[in-house]
Amino acid sequence: MVKVLVKGAGDIATGVAMTFYRSGFQVLMTEIAEPTVIRRRVSFATAVYEKSIEVEGIEGVLVKASDFQSVLNSGKIGVMIYDKGDVPSCYEPDIVVDAILAKRNIRTSLKDASVVIGCGPGFTAGIDCHLVVETKRGHYLGRWLEEGAAAPNSGIPGIVEGKGLERVLYSPIAGKVKHHKAIGDLLEEGELVLEVAGASVYSPFKGYLRGLIQEGLVVEAKMKIGDVDPRLEERYPFTVSEKAFAVGRGALEGALYLGRKKAVFGVEKFE
C-alpha cells in the first residue's frame, strides 16, 4: 500500500487526507499539541482534543508512535501530535503533502519522500517540494505546478454570498475563549457567539456558525476565532468544503502523475 503523510490536520488538510484515503492510500497526519483550527467538525485535528472524530463517514484517531500502525491497518486515518514539522522517524511515507497552510515552509524538504507536495504559498516547486498546489479561490484553485510557486496570500477571505472579511470572527483582545454558541447553530445578526477574556463577539449577520475555535484556548488579539456562513444550509458546517476537496484532488492527481513519472507507484499508462 502506498503510504501518505499529510502535514497539518485542519479543514484543508482534512480534504487532502480524505481524497487520498478514499482512493486507497494509507494516511497518517501530523498536528501540533494545541490546534487552532476553526472548522473543527470537519478537521481531523479535532482528534487531538477528542481522541477521535468522524468526518463524512471517515474516522480520524489520535495515535502515538507505539500504536499508529495498528490504527492505520484497521482502516482509519491516524493523527499524531508532532510539533517539529519533520516527518516522524517511525513512518516512511511514499508521499508527503504539506497542508499546514502556514504561508511559509515549515521544514518540508525534497528529501522527505519520493513525492513531496506543498499546498499554497510558501513553497517553490523544484526547490523545497516537487509540486505546488494552488489554494487561492478562483480559476486556478486545485491546479498543481511543477515549476514556480502558488499565488501569494492576499489576507482576504474568499467571497461567499457576497460576504468576505465580514464573515470571519476575530478576537477583540488576547485571552481565554468561552463559547456561547456551538458549530451548526443558526445565528441572528448581533447574537452573542463567544467571549474572549470577557469581551463579547457577536454574529455580523444571519447565518450558520460554521467555525469556532476550541473552547479554553488562550488566543492573541486579532486572531481568527470563528466563521459565519451566510448560506442558509444547515449541513454546510458539517461537510468538507469545495475548496478543501479541490486542493485534495489536485494533490492526488499530482502525486499520481509524479509517481508514474518517477516509476515509484501509480497506474501504468495504456498504450
pLDDT of res. 268: 64
pLDDT of res. 166: 83
Q: What is the 3-state composition of the chain as percent helix, strand, coil, each rounded to the nearest 5? A: 20, 30, 50
Residue, of 105 and 154, whose pLDDT is higher: 105
Q: Which domains does the chain have, with CATH numbers?
A: 3-154+242-261 (3.40.50), 165-230 (2.40.50.100)
Q: Is 68 helix (H, G, I), strand (E, B) or coil?
A: helix
Q: Which three cell numbers stand for residue 237?
A: 458546517
Residue, of 266 and 181, whose pLDDT is higher: 181
| pLDDT exceeds cutoff 80 at 115 | yes
Q: How confident is the model at residue 7 (pLDDT cuts 50, 70, 90)?
A: very high
- How many Cβ atoms from other residues are within 10 Å of residue 189's Cβ? 11
| pLDDT exceeds cutoff 70 at 269 | no
Q: What is the pTM of this model?
A: 0.94
Q: Which three cell numbers stand for residue 152?
A: 501569494
pLDDT of res. 54: 98
Enumerate residues 6+ apart whose C-beta is below 8 A from 41. Answer: 53, 55, 183, 184, 237, 238
| pLDDT exceeds cutoff 80 at 159 | no
pLDDT of res. 85: 75
